[in-house]
Amino acid sequence: MYTEKMQRAKLYDRDPRKTEYSDKYAVRKWVEDQIGSEYLIPLLGTWKEAEEIDFSLLPDSFVLKTNHASSDVVVVKSKKTLSDKKIKAIRQKLHYALNHSYELVQGFEMQYKGIPPLIIAEKLIQDEKYNELRDYKFLCFDGVPYYCWVDCDRYTNHTRNVYDMEWNLMPWTQGGYKNSSVSVEKPENFDTMVEVAKKLSADFSHVRVDLYNVGGKIYFGEMTFTNGSGFEKLPDRINYELGCLWKLSC
């Protein structure tokens, strides 16, 4: 089954490219080579220490995060709201992330081991149409995307819709999330998103390619080699079907 193969891959598939492409900073060069720099969210700066960040040099809106962790994203929609107290709290959050290893946090995701920790700042991209930034996550096997899920209201009432490549809503989700009560429209340039996912996943037996689509502009999000760390619940039938798609070589 899929989740069982995920655990095996974590133990035995030590492809060094997984570490490079899981690095949210280092992967940018590879993405540029594969599909072009126009798919990258503009980079505003990098720092090795939180105290090095000069907020006065950043634009009014931006995103801060580390290149090796998760759940450490800081979204600043207006720099005018940043008091000295808030800036101190942001530095503390990023300092904590920089000084912690994440390969064991969710269960032996060893591709994160060896990533040189770094803080990166990116342009804040927003989708005014949906009043949120929707994530389009493509489940790919040997360079073929089979499903795309969309997370909605991630920070309020997290829901998840899973679609096939014809944009048919599937009767299942990963992680037990409910479907969104709001209609999720198929992006007009969905076929282009599929082609991007194909190119980025071509050399891997399985990877999740995360993309954004803002006003028809496609942006690269990240490459995820241990989707849910293999611990998020799936219906037994889907767990089996996804497992059959994954041709493990290890």
Instruction: List phi, psi (to 5°) of 93.
Output: -65, -45
Dihedrals phi, psi of 246, to nearest 5 degrees: -95, 105
pLDDT band of residue 101 (cuts 50, 70, 90) is confident
Q: What angle, 0 to 180 degrees and rounded to 10, lies between the N-to-C axes of helices 2-12 and 236-245?
A: 50
Report which residue type is found at 115: I
What's the pTM value of the predicted model, to 2 decimals? Answer: 0.93
Model pLDDT, residue 62: 97
Domains defined along the chain, listed by start: 1-16+127-250 (3.30.470), 42-124 (no CATH)
pLDDT of residue 67: 96
Mean pLDDT within 74-97: 96
For residue 250, the model assigns a pLDDT of 67
pLDDT at residue 140 above 90?
yes
How far apart, in whole angstroms, are the C-alpha atoms of residue 51 and residue 183? 43
Please give the average per-residue pLDDT across 87-103, as a whole number.
93
Query: Over the stretch 150-186, which tens digit does the pLDDT of each residue have?
Result: 988 877 788 899 999 999 999 999 998 899 887 789 9
At 25 the pLDDT is: 98
What does the DSSP 8-state code read for residue 186? P
pLDDT band of residue 73 (cuts 50, 70, 90) is: very high
Contact 222, 24 (CB under 8 A): yes
107, pLDDT greater than 90: no
pLDDT value for 70: 81
Res 90 pLDDT > 80: yes
